[in-house]
Amino acid sequence: MAIITGQEYVQSLRSRKIDLYLLGEKVKEPVDHPIIKPSINSVAVTYDIAHDPKYESLATSASHITGEKINRFNHIHQTPQDLVKKVKLLRLLGQKTGACFQRCVGMDALNALSIVTYDTDQKLGTEYNRRFMDFLQHVQHKDLMCCGAMTDPKGDRSLRPSQQADPDLYLRIVKRSEHGITVRGSKLHQTGAINSHEIIVMPTRKMRDEDREYAVAFATPSDTAGLLYIYGRQPCDLRKLGDSEIDLGNKKYGGQEAMIVFDDVFVPWKRVFLAGEHEFSWPLVNTFAAYHRQSYGGCKAGVGDVLIGATSAVAEYNGVPTAPHIRDKIVEMTHLNETIYSCGIACSSEGCKTSSGTFLVNTLLSNICKHNVTRFPFEIVRLANDIAGGLIATLPSEKDLQNPKTGKYMEKYLKGKREKSTEARLRMLRLIENLSTGLGAVGYRIESLHGAGSPQAQRIMIERETNIKLKQRLAQALAGVEPE
């Protein structure tokens, strides 16, 4: 077995014993919970698309370990074309779900570990890469979904991990034995954590010698004893508890974030990929960040396509699709969206082979890509809200539409162009709300700012990756100035 279907994926989640709390209550079966289900539907698309002959070259690849056909989300990039296909696949899935489909983080963690475990072994004589390759083969063969867990709570940001008043504010090793390690701490904002089979933990920052117990990377099944999940709230999430469809905006798909608590979780050595080698914490953080910032050039462009389409449709329902200012705003939305995608393709095409054999994106361009994402979706949302009008914030509920007394007035007064139904107009307005201010905001607008690092994180990397001296020499040569 190498590629499972969406239905098989959903079924595989039922066999776990997840310790999960949502809205203050323990959830017995996440698969059936109405707030969680849309996010599971989104992940299922990543499995089903691998069985569609139309998208086979994008959604699947051959394992470089076994030659077995596998889902691309579990593939280790072997060429620049692999990197390009990744971005194209993510855009396609964004278009199909209009939401976060949650498998990018795990994919990026796998590729980062394939590089850094190799480099660690080469320098220190460890056996992390062999352990990782065994784990990777297991993931590929079972077609598992992995959650990449990097972000720690951090506590007092002015202090290093080992300086915190509470030492658990960064995840750390609290015990070592001949059998493995025991870890304690938490990871925040974890995309798709509840929907994953495996949790891959990585350090969140550069560590020093005094922080070596925080320099830890490992993988553990999502239902491991000691793991506790607290589900993250989303705007308007209680709408999913009702029987409304229109008010959801996106009637089937959604994203997911969770807080994970590691309450003295045991990890066997065969699942440990870094344990105190602090000098490799930063390469792992940096490599993962480069891959994940590339990812945003695909998924955010795909969701942007949906938002642009919804905005254009509403303009049509309002009877103003040819108004010059409307057309110009939609052109601007398209320009910004394609710029995001272009950066994703550029950093992929400029990727190079590392010593491990894995291809890595151009890290400068991947940071440029994500830095654009911290800005452009906000402007795309602003323009969508401008064109859609105030109804996205004041629209009455679907139940009012269905009520005989109030529904007739909504049909009458909320109708736009005569040829278009009132319901169609309301559905499109709800979708715009979902993507820009409501249920889907965490997967598009807010995540665009903070996902894969805040804007300042990219600016730091852009400064580090830019060869200013080279640019100076170019200018000096043309100006006739002797280089210093």
CA distance 310 to 425: 10
Q: Which residue has the tokens 């080469």?
A: 122
191 is a catalytic site residue: yes
Can you read off the two tokens belonging to residue 327? Answer: 């057309």
Q: H/E element holding 60? A: strand 60-62
Residues 6+ apart with CB under 8 A from 230: 20, 21, 22, 258, 259, 261
The residue assigned the tokens 């642009």 is: 308
Query: Is 347 an active-site residue?
Result: no
Annotated catalytic residue within 198, 277, 433, 447: 447
How far, in Å, CA of 334 to CA of 237, rounded? 29
Q: From the candidates 9, 33, 55, 104, which is the catalytic residue?
A: 104
Sequence-ordered alpha helix ranges (H) in 318-362:
324-349
Q: Which of 198, 257, 277, 398 is catalytic?
A: 257
Q: Measuring CA to CA, how many Å separate 123 from each of 207, 273, 312, 358?
A: 18, 14, 55, 18
Q: Is 447 a catalytic residue?
A: yes
| Catalytic residue, candidates 146, 236, 299, 369 | 299
Q: Which of 191, 220, 311, 363 is catalytic?
A: 191
Distances in Å between the Cα of 214 and the Cα atoms of 185, 209, 217, 248, 274 are 10, 10, 9, 41, 10
> For residue 445, what are the contacts with CB-CB under 8 A and spacing of at least 6?
377, 378, 381, 435, 436, 437
Around Cβ 386, how many Cβ atoms within 10 Å?
A: 12
Q: Does residue 292 carry a catalytic annotation?
A: yes
**Looking at 33, 75, 278, 292, which residue is catalytic?**
292
Catalytic: 104? yes
* Catalytic, out of 9, 33, 46, 100: 100
Per-residue tokens: 121 = 């072994």
Q: Which active-site residues does the annotation give? A: 100, 104, 191, 257, 292, 296, 299, 447
